[in-house]
Amino acid sequence: MLRLELRPQASRTMTFVAPLLAIAATVAAGGVLFAALGFAPLPALATFFLSPLGDLYGVTEWLLKATPLAIIACALALGFRGNVWNIGAEGQLIAGAIAAGGTALALYEVSGLWVLPTVLLAGVVGGAAWAAIPALLRIRFHANEILTSLMLNYVAVLLLAWLVHGPWRSPEGYNFPETRMFTDSALMPLLVEGMRLHVGVLFAPLVAVVAWVILSRSFLGFQIKVIGMTPAAGSYAGFGPNRVIAFTLMFGGGMAGLAGAMEITGPIGQLVPTVSPGYGYTAIIAAFLGRLHPIGILLAALLLALTYMGGDAAQIALGVPLAVTQVFQGMILFFLLAADVLIRYRVRLSLPHGARR
Amino acid sequence: MSEAELATLAAILAAMIRAATPLVFAALGELVTERAGVLNLGLEGMMLMGAVAAFGTAHAGAGHGAAMAAGAAAGVGMSLLFAFLALGLRANQVACGLALSIFGVGLSAFVGKSLVGTPIAALPALPIPLLSEIPVLGPALFSHDILVYASILAVPAISWFLFRTRAGLVLRAVGENHDAAHDIGYGVLKVRTLAVMFGGAMAGLAGAYLSLAYTPMWVENMSSGRGWIALALVVFATWVPVRALMGAYLFGGVTILQLHAQNWGVPVSAQILAMLPYLATIVVLVLISRDETKIKLNAPACLGKVFHSGR
Amino acid sequence: MKITRRAGLGLALAMGLFGATQALAAEPLKVGFVYVGPIGDHGYSYQHEQGRLAVEKHFGDKVKTTYVENVPEGADAERVIRQLASSGHELIFTTSFGFMNPTAKVAKQFPKVKFEHATGYMRAPNLATYMARFYEGRYASGVAAGRLTKSNKLGYIASFPIPEVVRGANAFTLGARSVNPKAEVRVVWVNSWYDPGKEREAAEALMAQGVDVIAQHTDSAAPVQAAEEKGVWAIGQASDMSRFGAKSHLTAIIDDWSGYYIARVQAVLDGKWTSTDTWDGFDKDMVRLAPFNPSTPAAVRDEALGVERQIKEHKFHPFTGPIKDQSGKEVVAAGQIVPDSDLLKMNWFVEGVVGSIPK
């Protein structure tokens, strides 16, 4: 019988071996899945994982898609470490997009190097303000942030819908739900001519570093970790959890807001009813897949972005239905999460006591 | 009130109860799971698999009983996958639950492909004799299908189980302090697995209610995020079954009322009105959360924490 | 080496010149479709998928079609469209309004690829637009609804406040009031294209208010089912939904894209494709009425079918004045027809609609 034995400390070797095992398992299981559905397994896997990155455009798109995931997940991870459950990054992203979009519209046709930073800052403030609601309700009224932050996601979607269908609708848009296209000084500068990748991609490693510094080099980070381990311990150490709740929620919200601002000033270029394909939710997976560590999260965000692009590629090149690519995505996540067990545990083969009797 | 107004009132109440029923099932199941200390965010995936399995079974000609059983079984099957990863392999519960949702959306769409656009006979209403003839209350409360009654009866049943039986005590002990429960000799993983399976069965029934009774059809992603609302309702309920029912009825009721309000001539945009169910839930949660001690007592202390038996 | 390569090049050139037609015949035309919903929605995207399947059936191995479903109307759309364009698809249909700007951007980058965008207004030499005059179906079904209602209250389940939906509700109202001036249409917004539960809730709310005919501008058959339970009439959308309401399903406004898709693919095959602006309705069978319920009174059915024929033969336009707005002010004079350019951006309700456009 297999038995799991907790390692005294996480295995460094396994930290690197486990993901490789997960990838091997994914390739094997994916091969079986595709073969069972009548697709040649190896070309299907190659289409899924390799073809999206076959040219410069693919690589730039990959980084573009991973950027919001990485930024949000790095910020959310601080909260998750401190037992603050912000499920509302999607709403905070939208709130950030609303604030940034409103600013960009107010500065329509205004030029100047300060316009874009102002727009992005508005996004950060908008996202942080949206996250301040659950923070306030938790601190002041003890209202659980899982519920409040999740419910505010739906409210943010409706608020954005109301704005683009109503007051902020483009005067030239035949009453369709969209704002005007933002003017050049409110758009993210592109990194590669002809591609959509913009300078915002640099924020991903930056936020990762900031999150790492906060967590491992600041007193606040120490507080987050202490409260994360035992919520009651904070009060013995002489600080309450309120500071941690307020900071982690608003930092997560602010970064989600930044991601939202960069989506609309980057690849989208205007406010539309759908500014996010669920980045706020996917980022939660990215955070845990990356084991709440900035480096891990960057890798997880890249992997998740690749699975979405691979799903599109498999539909286009092979006609694999979306449902199958979603099943495959789920499987990849299962394997990666399951492989983690090897890092923290030794798998022992042992006979249970009394097995012979 | 005139007769027509009373009839309208009865219709609104009945609609509220039906709209809330899938939320009641899913929230009660998740509540039991969380009471055992496990956070399963895969409700949406389990509901969808329950919905497609129930619909497929009914479509194949089996009776409604078999269809409901199939829905529950599909939910259990999905929950076992979760239990294997999150409990067996100690993988992260939050991430496993989210992955289970993605997986369930895809798998249900895949197996349900041939069922799209086909009809089945809806789960029939079973008016309770005599009671269903009471004015207003009769049509509002006593003229529903069996799953609606079951969802309501599940509340006292689960409350009794959790708070009046030894097994319920063990389950709560496991969720409160798994180390202590283990030291006393309770099988933490066994209890948690059973709780996760119960949550899966209830989510499967929630899905079955959607595809057999509420909107008897199969379309992809037909749960439309109700699993997430149910998850929020467990928090709303502060892990007390009867409050989960009240929360679901509050949410369902405000949803129905805002649809009516659109024709009352209130000068508010329909999108703003549509925010009301979410805002109402937040406001009521704030009101009941003000007393900090109450909340602290109810939240399972080991919720989402990994249990290592071999410390 | 050099010589061989040049010879090879020459050979390839010769083949290119003389074998052009043959190569074309052997190589199937690749056609791409981008859907906003899953094809399993049994509504809008499902109907486009039926159009794609009709293309495959019609052309056989002369074409190869590809679809991408459930594409979010945000940043991802442009990547998906571009992937289709760069992987050899020569004709690409993007089927939702939110794909307009991404389609236009990609069209600029791929001048040789032909693009067709549904329900938008941006055109380019290689970007055509197409749309269906669903409002014609809504007017004709409104005529039947106006006749059948006993309470003079009709219900309309609306998705999002965009001109197409507003136009549809107006046409339905005008149709109903053309035969029954006392009829009023109650509009309920559900803020979703496709959420069976919510659509059912909206139907129940309308029926509780005394509505006895329900029309919908959302995708699922849930309102038809709700109507069936309560014994009131329902008018389906996108496809024939009679299977979901044997007694209640009056008719449905069917989207049929197959004729258009086949014609456009044919045009590319013939080398005759040009960037056009298509807005077809009954006349080209892009919009059809599903067969009326057998229990519909013959007079009502014939009247609605008569209106359908008149619209089809361009003898009557649903938006013919006099038309008053909700405040009772006449906005279209008697005999005048609302021009397409105004229909395209319609954002006001006609007299008889109860409810408001979210602003």
Cβ contact, residue pair B262, C243, below 8 Å: no
Quick one: how far is CA C91 from the chain centroid?
A: 19
Bridge partners for C118 per DSSP? C130
Q: CB-based contacts of A293: which residues, under 8 Å, 6+ apart?
A: A77
Q: What is the arithmetic mean of pLDDT over A103-121?
A: 95
In this predicted structure, what is the pLDDT of residue C4? 39
Q: CB-based contacts of B208: which residues, under 8 Å, 6+ apart?
A: B50, B51, B53, B54, B67, B68, B70, B71, B72, B147
Instruction: Tell me which chains share at least 3 CB pairs under 8 Å with chain C.
Output: A, B
Whether chain A has a CB inside 8 Å of the CB on B295: the answer is: yes
| The token pair that represents C147 in the structure block | 């006749």
Q: Is the pLDDT of residue B103 over 50?
A: yes
Q: CB-based contacts of B156: which residues, under 8 Å, 6+ apart?
A: none
Which amino acid belongs to residue C351? Answer: E
State the best of B25, B114, B219 to mutate against chain C, taking most chain C CBs within 10 Å.
B219
Contacts of C347 in chain A (CB under 8 A): 175
Whether chain A has a CB inside 8 Å of the CB on C28: the answer is: no
Contacts of B224 in chain C (CB under 8 A): 192, 195-198
In this predicted structure, what is the pLDDT of residue A232? 61
Burial class (CB in 10 A: 0-12, 13-18, 19+), B118: middle
In this predicted structure, what is the pLDDT of residue C18? 41
Handedness of CA A144, A150, A154, A160 (dihedral sign): positive
* pLDDT averaged over every residue in chain A: 91
Task: Pick one of 2.130.10, 1.10.3470, 3.30.160, 1.20.950 as the CATH number of B21-298.
Answer: 1.10.3470
How far apart CA C98 and CA A239 sit, in angstroms, is 49
In this predicted structure, what is the pLDDT of residue C9? 39
In this predicted structure, what is the pLDDT of residue C292? 97
Q: What is the pLDDT of residues A151-199, one digit of tens each?
A: 999 999 999 999 999 999 999 888 899 999 999 999 999 998 889 999 9
Cβ contact, residue pair B98, A150, below 8 Å: no
pLDDT band at A15 (very low <50, low <70, confident <90, very high): confident
Q: Which CATH superfamily includes the segment(s) C23-132?
A: Response regulator (3.40.50.2300)
Q: What is the pLDDT of residues B152-206, one digit of tens each?
A: 999 999 999 999 999 999 999 999 999 999 999 899 999 999 999 999 999 999 9
Domain C134-254+288-354, classified CATH 3.40.50.2300, yes or no? yes
| The token pair that represents A18 in the structure block | 């486990």
Q: Is the pLDDT of residue A21 over 80?
A: yes
Q: A279 to chain B, minimum CA–CA distance in Å?
A: 13
The three state secondary structure string of chain C is CHHHHHHHHHHHHHHHHHCHHHHHHHCCEEEEEECCCCHHHCCHHHHHHHHHHHHHHHHHHHEEEEEECCCCCCCHHHHHHHHHHHCCCCEEEECCHHHHHHHHHHHHHCCCCEEEEECCCCCECCEEEEEECHHHHHHHHHHHHHHHCCCCEEEEEECCCCHHHHHHHHHHHHHHHHHCCCCEEEEEECCCCCCHHHHHHHHHHHHHCCCCEEEECCCCCHHHHHHHHHCCEEEEEECCCHHHCCCCEEEEEEECCHHHHHHHHHHHHCCCCCCCEEEECHHHCCEEECCCCCCCCHHHHHHHHHHHHHHHCCCCCCCECCEEECCCCEEECCCCECCHHHHHCCCCCECCEECCCCC
Cβ contact, residue pair A147, B107, below 8 Å: no
Facing residue for B269 by CB, picked from A154, A166, A344: A166
In this predicted structure, what is the pLDDT of residue A239? 67
Instruction: Tell me which chains share at least 3 CB pairs under 8 Å with chain B.
Output: A, C
Q: What is the pLDDT of residues B76-88, one digit of tens each?
A: 999 999 999 999 9
How far apart CA B156 and CA C228 sit, in angstroms, is 34
Cβ contact, residue pair B99, A330, below 8 Å: yes
Cβ contact, residue pair B214, C197, below 8 Å: yes
| pTM (global) more than 0.90 | yes
pLDDT band at A236 (very low <50, low <70, confident <90, very high): low
Q: C201 to chain B, minimum CA–CA distance in Å?
A: 7
The answer to whether A110 and A185 are in contact (CB under 8 A) is: yes
In this predicted structure, what is the pLDDT of residue B277? 96
Cβ contact, residue pair C42, B219, below 8 Å: yes
The answer to whether B90 and B245 are in contact (CB under 8 A) is: no
ipTM of predicted complex: 0.93
* pLDDT averaged over every residue in chain B: 92
Which domains, ranges and CATH numbers included, belong to chain A? 1-39+324-351 (no CATH), 60-304 (1.10.3470.10)
The answer to whether C69 and C39 are in contact (CB under 8 A) is: yes
Whether chain A has a CB inside 8 Å of the CB on C195: the answer is: no
Q: What is the arithmetic mean of pLDDT over A246-250?
A: 96
How far apart CA A158 and CA A164 sit, in angstroms, is 10
Cβ contact, residue pair A331, B278, below 8 Å: no
Q: What is the pLDDT of residues B48-77, one digit of tens each?
A: 999 999 999 999 999 999 999 999 999 999
Q: What is the pLDDT of residues A290-330, one digit of tens each?
A: 989 999 999 999 999 999 999 999 999 998 889 998 999 89
Bridge partners for C12 per DSSP? none
Per-domain residue ranges of chain C: 23-132, 134-254+288-354
Whether chain C has a CB inside 8 Å of the CB on A276: the answer is: yes
Contacts of A198 in chain C (CB under 8 A): none
Question: What average pLDDT values come out for chain C (359 residues) when binned by 10 residues?
Answer: 38 40 67 93 93 97 95 93 95 96 96 95 96 97 97 96 95 98 96 93 94 96 94 95 95 96 97 96 96 97 97 97 94 95 94 89
Whether chain C has a CB inside 8 Å of the CB on A313: the answer is: yes
Farthest CA pair distance, chain B = 69
Phi, psi of C71 (to 5 degrees): -85, 120
Nearest to C195 by CA among C162, C218, C226: C218
Per-domain residue ranges of chain B: 21-298
Altogether, the residues listed in chain C come to a count of 359
Contacts of C189 in chain B (CB under 8 A): 262, 270-271, 274
Cβ contact, residue pair B113, C40, below 8 Å: yes
Cβ contact, residue pair A166, C345, below 8 Å: no
Above pLDDT 70, what percent of chain A?
Answer: 94
Cβ contact, residue pair C38, B221, below 8 Å: yes
Bridge partners for C294 per DSSP? none
For C156, the closest chain B residue by CA position comes to: B263
